[in-house]
Amino acid sequence: MHMNDQEFEAAIEEALAAIPARFTEALSNIGISWDYEPTAAELGSLHCSEGELLGLYTGVPITQRTTSYSGVMPDMITIYKGPHERICDTRRNMVEQIEKTVIHEIGHYFGFDDDYLHMHGY
């Protein structure tokens, strides 16, 4: 399934808009972006859904931040377009998968590990 860049970005924005405000309001010092493909280094030691890395959270989860957490670069969530296009066969499936990926990566920000997130369908 192919989506142009604007459609892909809009799907990410829609996924963010669907997240309850109590969670999005708790996000602090984090950026959310997208890229076409993960780098070889990003693929190196991560669990990948269906052999593809759909998204990546890099940073310090809020559950691990201490009083010394200040003056650091923002955490980042990156959603990858190419892997989504390869595993999704319809537009609806792709939009749903983008939503799951966004929620999964935000879950890491809140300190949840992959096992917990997969157990709950993310």
pLDDT for 63-93, tens place per residue?
988 888 888 899 999 999 999 999 999 999 9
Cα separation of 12 and 14, whole Å?
5
Q: Match 């749903």 to its residue by tokens.
A: 96
Return the structure tokens found at 75: 């955490």
pLDDT at 46: 66
Kindly give the parts of the chain with pLDDT less than 50: none
pTM over 0.85? The answer is: yes
- CATH class for the domain made up of 5-119: alpha beta
Structural domain boundaries in the chain: 5-119
Q: Which residue has the tokens 């859904």?
A: 49
